[in-house]
Amino acid sequence: MILPECIILQQEATNPNTPKETLIELLNEFPKPVLSNPQFRVLCLNYPQLLHKISVATLRLLVQFNTAPESFLHWVENNSEPDVLAGFNYSTNPELSSYK
């Protein structure tokens, strides 16, 4: 049985053994599965260039999910441009400061 490509990619997005570069590439198409991947949390802690590898459009999307790791949200909050910060959903992420 051959699985459709999107199912394979979604499974890859949740697989903790997926290489970091592949996870970053999958963020655009499968943001929630990547955010739930334990390897993404490790990336947030150990890969300082991560923010520069993610497009601004994708960052805007990611900050809206309450499933994003807290460490990632704090990192984005402290290192991003105002247009990315405008997408923060502070009501679902009350631990973040608000620049309102």
Give the model confidence (pLDDT) of 49-77 as tens digits: 887 888 888 888 887 777 788 877 787 77
Q: Is 12 a domain residue?
A: no
Distance CA 77, CA 93 (A): 11
Q: Is 14 a domain residue?
A: no
Q: What is the pLDDT of residues 1-30, one digit of tens each?
A: 567 888 899 999 999 999 988 998 999 899
Q: Is 67 a domain residue?
A: yes
Distance CA 92, CA 98 (A): 12
Across residues 35-45, what is the average pLDDT?
89
On whether the CB atoms of residues 93 and 66 are closer than 8 A, the answer is yes
Q: Is 13 a domain residue?
A: no
Q: What does pTM read for this prediction?
A: 0.73
On whether the CB atoms of residues 69 and 40 are closer than 8 A, the answer is yes
On whether the CB atoms of residues 72 and 98 are closer than 8 A, the answer is no
Torsion angle, alpha carbons of 72, 78, 79, 81, to 10 = 110
Q: Is 11 a domain residue?
A: no
pLDDT for the residue numbered 88: 65
Q: Is 74 a domain residue?
A: yes
Distance CA 41, CA 53 (A): 15
Q: Say how many domains are in the chain.
A: 1
Give residue 97's pLDDT band: very low, low, confident or very high (50, 70, 90): low
